[in-house]
A and B are shown apart, each in its own frame.
Chain A
Amino acid sequence: MRLAEAWRVAVTALRANRLRSLLTMLGVIIGVASVVVLIAIGTGAQREVEAQVEGLGSNLVLVVPGQLELGSAPSRSPLDLDDAEDVGRAVGQPGRVAVTLAGGETVRFGARSSFATVNGTNAAVPDVFSRAVARGEYFRDSDVDTRRRVAVLGSSLVRDLFDGADPLGRQVTIGGVRFRVIGVFEEVGSAFGVDSDRDVHIPVTAAQRLFSDDRVDALAIKAPTADSTGRVSDEALAALADAYPDQEFSAVTQDQILGTLGRILGLLTSVLAAIAAISLVVGGVGVSNIMLVSVRERTREIGLRKAVGARQRDVLLQFLLEAVLLTSLGGVIGIALGVGGSLALTTVVDQVPAVITWWSPALAFGVSAAVGLFFGVVPARRAGRLDPVVALRQE
């Protein structure tokens, strides 16, 4: 009930100085809005990366030569197609081991040309990587065995080269060699400005001829279940250790990739939010400052209230509540601006994926109220301790 009275007094005081209240809140508004926006962007980026990694296909195990660590130089792959078969047998998933040998080449159709990522692969790819073909078909094992010059194109590449014409059955030139288009991939979409629909898949044997190489870059195995990815990793590495005793290989699962990327992006989000939070602290100092001014201005009111029976804690509560009200209101406005800004970012600038989570506005509100409490204590204590005799005498 005293709280209700203190609330009424606080609202009256803030309304009496509307412009001042607004300017005081500005620091908190900006701080909260930027925290909300940056967390939204960070979360959006995290989700996007997760979706990309999960989009690679489920239960995936990637096997690459060398150590998979940030900063380590890529090693020359000793792997070839026979190793892929051996590994497939070793892990009990024959025919579910995809190979890749990638390079960049210019793809031409008539007068049009476009630079694309050329992936030499085998027939296991659509299954292992969950890459669906929208029209036509993917190549088969027999195409790989006979080194047929057939190609499956990404949707963006098709748009660039064929301009609406039907690409199926047409001849394109890849690095000067003619290939027949037998399929077009379903659209995957782009993320962070990288278009995932600008690639060409050709049989790995044809790619080896094209790049004058007899190796493959990496293997990808589809484990039968999510739980078996660890076992598959171990068995694949064991099989390769037998074949290449002097070579090191690494196996990574999607979970490991997600975990690493998630940690990096999570850290990045926290750092950004922490920087934004600095302005919240600055805003809090501003609140403290204005509250001190307010206490000084209302010294006689405080004296009167104490004279008629207000205790120290009654006065303290009144001014503390005023500070908390000020920052909480700033927090609410900041959240509205932050959520609005995040939505604007996703709709206007679609390269920035911003996702509002339920907890970030809640956290921002809690923090802004806490800022009011923290920075309101000093002025409120000063008000509470005023001597009524001195306070009443003030003109």
Chain B
Amino acid sequence: MTAAGPPALEAVDVTRSYPLDGVEVQALRGVSLTIAQGDYVAVVGPSGSGKSTLMHLLGALDKPTSGVLRVAGRDVAELGDDELAQVRNATIGFVFQAFQLLARTSAVDNVGMPLVYRGVRRSERRARAKAALERVGMAHRLDHTPNQLSGGEQQRVAIARALVGDPEVLLADEPTGNLDTKTGDDVMALLEDLNATGVAVVLVTHDLEVAARARRQIRVRDGLLE
């Protein structure tokens, strides 16, 4: 169910190189792809393939060396660091392998954190964080800190944090990498439920079984798409 309108993410002949010990390494050597609104895509490839670099670019965390990258219709090359931060805040929800939750901080405050940088008041942040936690089935753990939660629960909190700002795209980097199979399946089911509500999901993984669940797969090898 690909929605109409401009693509959520669009890369045209994108390259990315960076210096490593004085040598220019070409991590991406000309990649073009489109992630439509409501899409469900898996980016797969062995480590060192440029998969991570691609994910950073799609997440507007980084800028391409050449080529055009549009996030929510905006060319990232034209954006400053602070504008890029605002684009991420408004458009992308990140889900990381290691959850990346703040220690000693309650679930509801962790989830509300992106809204701080959108200038949302504390009471409203709390309300919206609660709603996001309800969507991922964590309404009963609002005031628990990460070390009081299981791995699966932590990843649900992290997904709630990715959702809280109503992003167009959920960018999930190995979301099941730190979880056992059963919990991983639950997390994948949750991501698919969210995809069904219209959020595009981009999975970055080397787990082919996980990748197979996506509507389509993008294979990266040696900085190029196969």
Taking Cβ atoms with an 8 Å cutoff, the residues of A that contact B are 1-2, 4-5, 12, 16, 300-301, 304-314, 388-389, 392
Contacts and interface: CB of A to CB of B under 8 A. Distances in A.
B121 interface: yes
A389 B56 contact: yes
Contacts of B81: 311-312
A358 B59 CA distance: 55
B69 to A, nearest CB: 14
B96 A392 contact: yes
B113 A307 contact: no
Contact count band on B: 20 to 34
B88 A308 contact: yes
A304 B97 CA distance: 13
A389 B119 CA distance: 24
9 contacts: A1-B122, A2-B119, A307-B94, A308-B88, A308-B114, A309-B165, A312-B85, A313-B82, A392-B61
Interface stretch (B32-40, B98-106, B214-222): B98-106
A307 B61 contact: yes
A312 B80 CA distance: 11
Nearest to A308: B114
Given A312-B85, A314-B117, 19 more contacts: A1-B121, A4-B122, A16-B104, A307-B59, A307-B61, A307-B88, A307-B94, A308-B89, A308-B114, A309-B114, A309-B117, A309-B165, A310-B116, A310-B117, A311-B85, A312-B82, A389-B61, A389-B62, A392-B61
A392 B100 contact: yes
B66 interface: no
B125 to A, nearest CB: 9
B118 interface: yes
Given A1-B121, A314-B117, A389-B62, A309 B89 contact: yes
Nearest to A4: B122
Contacts of A2: 116-117, 119
B119 A308 contact: no
A305 B118 CA distance: 12
B161 interface: yes
A12 B104 contact: yes
Contacts of B165: 308-309
Contact of A311 (B61, B104, B117, B122): B117
B86 interface: yes
Contact of A309 (B62, B86, B121, B122): B86
Nearest to B102: A301
Nearest to B171: A307
Contacts of B161: 308
Contacts of B105: 12
A307 B86 CA distance: 10
Interface string B131-162: 00000000000000000000000000000010
A359 to B, nearest CB: 37
A5 B61 contact: no
Nearest to B162: A308
Most chain A CB neighbours (cut-off 10 Å) among B61, B118, B161, B165: B61
Contacts of B118: 309
A386 to B, nearest CB: 11
Contacts of A301: 102
Contacts of A310: 85, 116-117
Contacts of B113: 305, 308
B116 A306 contact: no
Contacts of A307: 59, 61, 88, 94
Contacts of B102: 301, 304
A389 B56 CA distance: 7
B88 A309 contact: yes
Contacts of A16: 104
A310 B102 CA distance: 15
Interface string B68-97: 000000000000011001101110001010
B163 to A, nearest CB: 12
Nearest to A300: B100
A300 B101 CA distance: 10
A311 B94 contact: no
A311 B86 contact: yes
B172 to A, nearest CB: 13
Most chain B CB neighbours (cut-off 10 Å) among A12, A307, A308, A388: A308
Contacts of B94: 307-308
Given A12-B105, A304-B102, A307-B94, A1 B88 contact: no
A388 B88 CA distance: 12
A186 B104 CA distance: 69
Contacts of A389: 56, 61-62
A311 to B, nearest CB: 4
A30 B222 CA distance: 59
Nearest to A385: B81
A310 B122 CA distance: 16
B159 to A, nearest CB: 13
A388 B63 CA distance: 12
Most chain A CB neighbours (cut-off 10 Å) among B90, B113, B116: B116
